[in-house]
Structure 1
Amino acid sequence: MDDKYGRSWLARPVTRNEKEMNTTLAIDLDAINDPYKLPTEVLNTAVSARRLSDSVNIWRSYSDTSFEYKVYLHFFDFEERVDNSEKRIMNIIVNGFGDGVDENKNNVTKTISLSHRDPLTVPLTVEQGMGINNIFIKATSHSHLPPMLNAYEIYRVIPQSASATHQDDVDAIQRIRDIYKISRIKWQGDPCGPKGFTWDGLTCNTNDPPRIISLNLSSSKLSGDIDSTFSNLANLEILDLSNNELVGQVPEFFAKLPQLKILNNLTGSIPGALIEKSNLQLSLEGNGGICEIGSCEKNKNIVPVVATIASVVVFLIIVGIVMAIRRSLRKNEGGISSTSNKEQLKLKNQTFSYSQIHDITDGFKTMIGKGGFGEVYLGTLQSGERVAVKTLSLSSNQGYKQFKSEAKFLTLVHHRNVVSLVGYCDEGDAKALIYEYLSKGNLQEQLSDKNLNVLGWKERLQIALDAASGLDYLHNGCKPPIIHRDLKGSNILLDENMHAKISDFGLSRTFANDNDTHVLTNYPGGTPGYLDPEYHSSGTLNKRSDVYSFGVILLELITGQPAIRGTPDKPSHIHYWVKLKLEAGDIHAIVDPRLKGNYSVASAWKFLEIGMSCLPDVAIQRPDISHITSELKDCLSLEVSLQRNVSNKLDSFLMDYTLIDFNESDIVPNPR
């Protein structure tokens, strides 16, 4: 997590001629002159040959000789010495036999000497036509100590067939980065290249040179005015500035962007030139600091009038509420558990009697689910709207407290990715919650190997983004924030369009105020496999406890595997299984095999990276869900962009054959 350049480091198995080395001494990264910025965990671990005559070997085969390779060997000799005069001098041989002799003279050789606690990185170039078969690190005859190695990186140099990004776009996006101090790790190098490695949040076209056509800066902590530099991105079609802290009016210069079709999400007066853009979709929500109607100056003049009107309206509303409460009490005396000493539910949603619930469900005819709270039945309102009716079982372990909790939270939250409460029934022992009905069931069912309709890769990315957006709303859009405490696949519901909504708030908690960070609880809630491992030591849950649970859900989406694998006697967590697979570096061994390779490797790696970032055992090392949401948006954009490129290539391929006489059976296009 502390790698400045976002590299992922994997442990390499130790051979029989090697031994592990490590140090517990503190390493001051600020005091070390290391341009490669190696993390502490890389610097304080190493392998060493057991004997002076043994070598440290890297058996990696890169047999494709059409590429040039770059090798970086990292050394940090932290081993304490009895005699400070002892030296560690080594030969590095690429494609050799361990002694520096190669009959074909087709190797790369270098001699180095390490100084105590002084980092050294050795870059080597393996020229095109050579490839890599092995790398040996061997002590020289003048060395007192055996060879050692902390870490290595090997890169394949991919020639760029396309030209670099148009210079106007490069200048504009770099200025935007500098003005708003955007510190995304992947905003380095050429914005649109190489292909498949564009900057996060950017989509580029296939022109020569390529131009930026989509820019997603949502949740990027942008503040201040909207700079005119955006107008220099002449080919921009989509611009998302939602969930930032921008101020001022919507700039008129956006009308000068001829290709701009979508502008999300600003609040404020719309210049006439923008209104006249017939193809522009403008979303007016998300940045409350921008002026509401007309100019800011005009708004100031109408404040006294608005305040007067508002006070009258508030007074009338209060009077209306008091009168409504009095009528309700006279009409429904005893209607909501009035014979009970329990706190009455005060819900804004529609109330239903037991007989109405019985009619809605046709005598509880069709059960569509069952949980700790009770059974869930399919129902139909008089309007024809289908609903899900969750009844409270008298034997429920969760009971009335969780019934009230879920009803409370669902009356407070309103978001497209959080399930909606239609109403409730609280009549004596009969208690039920009535929700909107989501026809595709829950995510756990969709990912089950019993489901013959396999979720596609893009669908999985969209479900992840939907669920992240809902959780982001609970954590950062509700005041005070709400911790769900029981996120899992069965609590992610899907509508007919496969859009996801978070459900089941029976165990949720709010913070006492916006400044709180933890909730103490005697009952952990949650489900084995999804529960924050830090809870067992701290006894507290926080926002990042939900992030851990969400990370498990992301791994389930990627792999198609359940949170807990194995047998009851030998259970294995999905996180541990993925980490073992990662050691081999094969993404295809991790992604759900039922997809049969129908996904882009680039988006798969990014999706996996996002999921793993949620799962450190220490909560403070997990990102906020707003960051996860932004990363998932970029991941989905990457997949869409790659699919579009493949589609364009296929169209171009088919066009090349339009003048050739052939039968349809002669060509079977492969969409990959």
Structure 2
Amino acid sequence: MVISYSCSAGSKMTWILSLLFILAAATQVHGVSLPGFLSIDCGWTNGTSYDDNKNTTLTYVSDKEFVEGGKSYNIMAQYIEGATNEQEKTLRSFPDGQRNCYTLPTSIDKKYLIRATFTYGNYDGLNSSENGSLFLFGLHIGVNFWTMVNLTKWGSSNTIWKEVITIASDTNTSVCLINLGSGTPFISTLDLRKLDDAMFRFLNRSISLSYFTRKRFGSVDDLITRYPHDSVDRFWEAAKRYSFPWLNLTTAQKVNRLPGNDDFQVPSEILQKASTINRNFSWLNISVRASDNIDYRSLELLPIFHFAEIDGNSPNRTFDIYDDDNLLFSNYTPPPFRVDSTYNSSRFLRKKGVLFTLRKTASSDLPPLINAYEVYSLVRMENSTTSSDDVNHMKDIKKYYSLARNWNGDPCSPREYSWQGLSCNYANGNKIPSIISVDLSASGLIGTLHDSFMKMTSLEKLDLSQNNLTGGIPDYQLNSLRVLDLSNNQLDGPISDSVLQRFKAGQLELRLEGNPICSIVKEKYCSNKKNRTPIVLIAVLVPVVFILLVVLVCILWRLCWKGKSGEQEDYSLYEEETPLHIDIRRFTYAELKLITNNFQTIIGKGGFGTVYHGILENNDEVAVKVLVETSIAESKDFLPEVQTLSKVHHKNLVALVGYCQNKKCLALVYDFMPRGNLQQLLRGGYDNSLNWEERLHIALDAAQGLEYLHGSCTPSIVHRDVKTPNILLDKNLVAKISDFGLSRAFNAAYTHISTVAAGTLGYLDPEYHATFQLTVKTDVYSFGIVLLEIVTGQPPVFMDPQTIHLPNWVRQKIAKGSIHDVVDKKLLDQYDATHLQTVIDLAMNCLENASIDRPSMTEVVSVLKLCLPISSERQSATSTPRKKNVMDAEIPRQFQLMISGGSTTSYEGSSFQSGYTGGVSEISHISGR
């Protein structure tokens, strides 16, 4: 087996006998490789495959063909000695990247069971699972959240396993490990098992099932029953009810399925055993309960019971089945020697404790029996995948150019894990993301232009500049393309007519400067547009230089008319001669006038100056912020903003397109954010209000931007003015942090830097304001205010009826009522109460007076990800270390099963506990008088 159990001394002999039986079977069958079966030993490097003759007889293969990235490790030697199989000994770890994915071959619309196991074995020597720190990471099935892997306070030699049953939507299905900043993701094994089409008939592409618990009853020697006894290799755990009043039933007669009941195909071997209770008792209870640290309100559980009457004496056995006090099935009689699987796929249960009662009816002679049961948790497959054609084209491009990019999983979905260098459109009618921009500039591309670029039907912008591409430009028929930047390559032609015609018609911006073809072709697309204005100025001024008198006359004339006609003033004369040594575009004042249509459209105003809407030569929209100050010496914000944004690049930071350094005008040119800023949307009316999911996405976007500034920049950067007006939103509501005028670099070697307190009223960190000692936690405090604004829709300081700070208002409202009293009314109660509580708690943690008590932005990001629909599934509990190699799905190990019954005989005070010491559940009997 992949995972073994430790067992009590009394069960060792049966375990040894069982193992000998398996070994005997393995001597007859070697290397079983079944159609639709794929068994992957992650991190195994000693060959291409091997036969697991010790346990299952299945063939295991290396994971090299199914994953990119990651590092192979062996668990520590002290744990290898105790490993019961090869799969436990190796693993693959993923220290790099937020998302790393395995790609498994599947058939479209076929059903699969996918299982992953995790044995830490202290492979990295960090003792991460036992040192008390948070150690968890996420799992995605395709582009949707599946479950959490929580190894916090977990024994290093223990194993966790996760299982999902899903329908493949494509020829490949990905299983992705998500780094949440709380431990390095790793994986030990990955199994793919194709299921019969008739199984789990209620599944569809929108619904998958995550394993919760699966038990078999009766007198069972093996702790786990799996392949070859179960043809699809499910893990059935032995319930181990051997003490009074439990009674075990066994038959050698085959138990068949009822006609048409192929939903679950429970093995006959499992159905040939059952458990009941002494006939003096009338009912038994099965209690499935989530532990306190599991977000049970997000769980949607589906119980499935498997019954078969195996008493050959034609007994009269009828019972009712209850969910708590709700009758699920009445007058149920198990069919003799036939399995009947009882469930209600239209009813998923949302309860912390679910008590299932099997109670005999008044007309029944015998109490209930049960052969097996399963409980699954619903996984909603709500995120759409990118067009498979686009995905295949990008993979072809990656392969053709041998790109060393961490491109894993879906290119666009989920959007927070979109591929580097791609922009996607999430707003089309069918909700399928499409790739609209590809930026592979300076990526070391060698060879000709690959035709896959022009097969992506939604592509609008393609930047392949600063590479070593050769040849010509093929005949592309892609009407969506608006910008094709091939500058600074080695292209020597020819250029296809279709491209030239679109360029001449103004439908395509073509950039070819810096290519050999430009030595032959003298066209506008070969000119360096960035340098065109200085060339024009030189062409005009050089002749004038030779005529000194004319120059002097011109200057005097302009000075003379300066006060008379401001509109006629030539600002080009005031261009700073010494540019900033920054690798972004420098605009002249004349260019600013042109792109803003003479500063016609104002889109924002503030103490800093005025923001105008502009359109560049390539039709890209920009925002031009003209500062009040007219010199770098006067402006405290201009130079820090330019220096910061020219160095940092992140999808959640606003992009600085360029700047203007003129003695009469200082300006910054940014990407245009058509949805404005967060403050405007939160204060707007119902028509443009944000829903709960959009607010969470915006919060996560902003948090990721700050996390990048704090953790990925060297030195770290403290923004110092985090607030809703400085969180801008693009057309897809992707948030980007802006306004870095107050930002400061922060060396991690120091605990703080001393600086005059700056920021905005209501967002100011009280510790920073009192001590002038700046740390990254200053931004965390401000972000806490932003989170409360997102939840409440209220400003940071307002009248109610007297002036009150938002955190104090929230505390007062909750103290007098509940968290629901602080929620923005525009949400119309359409939100998840559990996640609301999580966000408010997170905000309050960010607002701790002492910075040391506040979380880092990495921790903030981890919490917010758990609240999003793609990761709204709950964290699993792992509070108690277990004995070695306990097979577990984390959640079920916190459950308790118990029975109770009513009888005419008193067994007062009786108490029984299972002899199974390595298992998931405790079993107790309570007298039922």
Q: 1:425 to 1:392 in 2, by over 3 A?
A: same
CA offsets 1:316-369 (integer angstroms, 9 cap, x no match): xxxx9xxx9xx99x9799999998999852221111111110010001010001
The 8 Å contact of residues 792 and 823 in structure 2, kept in 1 or not, is answered as yes
CA offsets 1:22-66 (integer angstroms, 9 cap, x no match): xxxxxxxxxxxxxxxxxxxxxxxxxxxxxxxxxxxxxxxxxxxxx
- Residue identity opposite 2:661 in structure 1: D
1:566 pairs with one of 772, 792, 799: 799
CA drift at 1:185: 9.2
Q: 1:350 to 1:536 in 2, by over 3 A?
A: closer
2:147 pairs with one of 214, 229, 242: 214
CA drift at 1:539: 1.3
SS for the counterpart of 1:546 is helix
Q: Tell me, yes or no, if structure 1 residue 619 matches structure 2 residue 557.
A: no
The 8 Å contact of residues 213 and 238 in structure 1, kept in 2 or not, is answered as no
CA drift at 1:429: 1.5
1:133-212 aligned within 5 A: 180-181=128-129
Query: 342-351 or 413-422: which moved more?
Result: 342-351
The residue aligned with 1:539 is 772
Q: 1:200 to 1:493 in 2, by over 3 A?
A: same
CA drift at 1:452: 3.5
CA drift at 1:284: 11
SS for the counterpart of 2:611 is strand
1:285-304 aligned within 5 A: none
Q: 1:251 to 1:525 in 2, by over 3 A?
A: same
Q: Tell me, yes or no, if structure 1 residue 441 matches structure 2 residue 671.
A: no
The residue aligned with 1:368 is 603
The residue aligned with 1:517 is 751
CA drift at 1:556: 0.3
The residue aligned with 1:557 is 790
Q: 1:336 to 1:456 in 2, by over 3 A?
A: same
CA offsets 1:375-419 (integer angstroms, 9 cap, x no match): 000000110111000011248999433111111111011000000
Amino-acid identity (%): 36
CA offsets 1:135-194 (integer angstroms, 9 cap, x no match): xxxxxxxxxxxxxxxxxxxxxxxxxxxxxxxxx98985999999742889999xxxxxxx
CA drift at 1:530: 0.1
What TM-score does the superposition give when structure 1 sets the normalisation length? Answer: 0.51
1:241 pairs with one of 155, 179, 183: 179
Where is the strand percentage greater, Structure 1 or Structure 2?
Answer: 2
CA–CA separation in structure 2 for the residues paired with 1:589 and 1:616: 22
Query: 632-641 or 465-474: which moved more?
Result: 632-641
Q: Tell me, yes or no, if structure 1 residue 456 matches structure 2 residue 394.
A: no
CA drift at 1:540: 1.6
1:417 pairs with one of 652, 655, 658: 652
CA drift at 1:257: 8.2
1:355-434 aligned within 5 A: 355-394=590-629, 399-434=634-669
CA–CA separation in structure 1 for the residues paired with 2:838 and 2:141: 18
CA–CA separation in structure 1 for the residues paired with 2:769 and 2:804: 18
1:497 pairs with one of 729, 732, 737: 732
Q: Tell me, yes or no, if structure 1 residue 529 matches structure 2 residue 762.
A: yes
CA–CA separation in structure 2 for the residues paired with 1:532 and 1:245: 29
The 8 Å contact of residues 345 and 404 in structure 1, kept in 2 or not, is answered as no
CA–CA separation in structure 2 for the residues paired with 1:367 and 1:630: 38
The residue aligned with 2:447 is none
CA drift at 1:590: 1.1
SS for the counterpart of 2:868 is helix
The 8 Å contact of residues 405 and 505 in structure 1, kept in 2 or not, is answered as yes
CA–CA separation in structure 1 for the residues paired with 2:141 and 2:815: 33
CA RMSD of aligned residues (A): 5.0
Q: Tell me, yes or no, if structure 1 residue 477 matches structure 2 residue 477.
A: no
Query: 175-184 or 431-440: which moved more?
Result: 175-184
The 8 Å contact of residues 373 and 397 in structure 1, kept in 2 or not, is answered as no
Q: 1:243 to 1:172 in 2, by over 3 A?
A: closer
CA drift at 1:454: 1.4
Query: 374-383 or 396-405: which moved more?
Result: 396-405
Indicate the structure whose relative CO is greater, using CA pairs within 8 Å and at least 6 residues apart. Answer: 2
CA–CA separation in structure 2 for the residues paired with 1:600 and 1:183: 33
Q: 1:338 to 1:363 in 2, by over 3 A?
A: closer
CA–CA separation in structure 2 for the residues paired with 1:200 and 1:596: 33
CA–CA separation in structure 1 for the residues paired with 2:702 and 2:138: 19
CA drift at 1:529: 0.1
Q: 1:535 to 1:527 in 2, by over 3 A?
A: same
CA offsets 1:285-335 (integer angstroms, 9 cap, x no match): 99xxxxxxxxxxxxxxxxxxxxxxxxxxxxxxxxx9xxx9xx99x979999
The residue aligned with 1:580 is 812
Q: 1:257 to 1:397 in 2, by over 3 A?
A: farther
1:115-130 aligned within 5 A: none
Q: 1:257 to 1:360 in 2, by over 3 A?
A: farther
CA offsets 1:71-110 (integer angstroms, 9 cap, x no match): xxxxxxxxxxxxxxxxxxxxxxxxxxxxxxxxxxxxxxxx
CA–CA separation in structure 1 for the residues paired with 2:576 and 2:152: 48
Structure 2 unpaired stretches of 5+ = 1-113, 166-173, 195-207, 211-380, 386-397, 400-406, 412-416, 421-513, 515-527, 542-569, 875-929
The 8 Å contact of residues 376 and 390 in structure 1, kept in 2 or not, is answered as yes
Which one has a bigger Cα radius of gyration?
Answer: 2
What TM-score does the superposition give when structure 2 sets the normalisation length? Answer: 0.38
Q: 1:357 to 1:170 in 2, by over 3 A?
A: closer
Q: 1:337 to 1:246 in 2, by over 3 A?
A: farther
- Residue identity opposite 2:854 in structure 1: R
Structure 1 unpaired stretches of 5+ = 1-167, 188-198, 206-210, 264-268, 271-277, 287-319, 643-672
SS for the counterpart of 2:867 is helix
CA–CA separation in structure 1 for the residues paired with 2:872 and 2:778: 31
The 8 Å contact of residues 376 and 389 in structure 1, kept in 2 or not, is answered as yes
The 8 Å contact of residues 558 and 590 in structure 1, kept in 2 or not, is answered as yes
CA–CA separation in structure 2 for the residues paired with 1:200 and 1:243: 8
SS for the counterpart of 2:637 is helix
The residue aligned with 1:597 is 829
CA–CA separation in structure 1 for the residues paired with 2:646 and 2:121: 44
Q: 1:579 to 1:170 in 2, by over 3 A?
A: farther
CA drift at 1:537: 2.1
Q: 1:479 to 1:182 in 2, by over 3 A?
A: farther
CA–CA separation in structure 1 for the residues paired with 2:575 and 2:676: 35
The 8 Å contact of residues 172 and 233 in structure 1, kept in 2 or not, is answered as no
The 8 Å contact of residues 392 and 399 in structure 1, kept in 2 or not, is answered as no
Where is the helix percentage greater, Structure 1 or Structure 2?
Answer: 1
CA offsets 1:247-280 (integer angstroms, 9 cap, x no match): 9xx97955758899999xxxxx99xxxxxxx995
1:94-113 aligned within 5 A: none
The 8 Å contact of residues 372 and 397 in structure 1, kept in 2 or not, is answered as no
